[in-house]
Amino acid sequence: MKTILKKNLVAMLATAFLLVISMVTSCKTNDPALNLATKPEAVAANNASSAGVYKGVIVGSSGYFNLSIKNGSDAITCKFVFDGNEVALTSKSFGSWAAGQPINNAVFTGTLNGQTINLTFSCDANGANPAVTVTIPGHTVYASVVKEKSDTLVKCYEGTYTIAKAKGTISGTWNFVYYGQLVYGYRADAESNGAIYGDVVDGVLQIGDGPLHIDETSVSGSFKNSGGELVTVTGKRTY
């Protein structure tokens, strides 16, 4: 009898142990914060070159992208995520291009949910002044892009905001990249749109009379716009 009880106890403990391991593994898999980069992907050799890594965010609806152009290899790739769906965009625009030359209207294409996506990218020979336009059928898309350097990680945040108006509350999308101490992005709602930019000091981006708090995984805060309306922002880092 004691032997049977002992065996049952061992079996129960083993089952409990496996359950705990399964829960921990599940948490690791489902927690996006655990998959976020903590150091730059860009290699130092490309810091002053048109080759390298460029990251950006999309508004209309919402997403982000990562362009890797001969960043330590001959590969040229574009990871594109839109409304939670990921697609790899490819390009045939680099046949005669070499690192250190300007990139002029390189086109990346792919298909997402049966729709053709076009991303057009340009930058100077040293990687400065990167510019992106994105075309997705049925959407008006605004894109913001910056070049990542080997000593400055570029982080992408996706969020929403509300504006308390006299006629009711309206909402929109508030996406930006955060690199060094700088924020650069775009926001849009049904009535207006515009750029987001500024310096972050001690984890705070000051807009008007209120702070936006930005840390490694989230953004939140509120302020009053030029019309005296309360704007409330919340979001998280997604790449």
Encode pLDDT of 163-222 as tens digits.
999 999 999 999 999 999 999 999 999 999 999 999 999 999 999 888 999 999 999 999
pLDDT at 33 over 60: no
Contacts of 71 (CB under 8 A, 6+ apart): 41, 42, 43, 46, 51, 52, 53
pLDDT at 85 over 70: yes
Q: pTM for the complete prediction?
A: 0.86
- As a whole-number percent, the residues of the chain with pLDDT over 70 amount to 86
- The band of 41, judged by pLDDT with boundaries at 50, 70 and 90, is very high
Integer distance in angstroms from the first to the last C-alpha of the chain? 57
Residue type (1 letter), 177:
V
pLDDT at 119 over 80: yes
18-22, 58-62, 73-77, 222-226: least confidently modelled range: 18-22
Distances from the Cα of 115 to the Cα of 55, 59, 111, 118, 132, angstroms:
22, 17, 5, 10, 19
- The band of 23, judged by pLDDT with boundaries at 50, 70 and 90, is very low
The secondary element (H helix, E strand) that includes residue 212 is strand 210-214
pLDDT at 14 over 80: no
pLDDT of residue 34: 55
- Mean pLDDT on 84-94: 97
pLDDT of residue 3: 47
- Mean pLDDT on 75-88: 97
Across all residues in the chain, what is the average pLDDT?
89
- Mean pLDDT on 216-236: 96
- Mean pLDDT on 103-122: 96
pLDDT of residue 7: 45
pLDDT at 116 over 70: yes
pLDDT at 2 over 50: no
The DSSP letter of residue 19 is H
- The band of 29, judged by pLDDT with boundaries at 50, 70 and 90, is very low
pLDDT of residue 193: 96
pLDDT of residue 208: 86
pLDDT of residue 237: 98
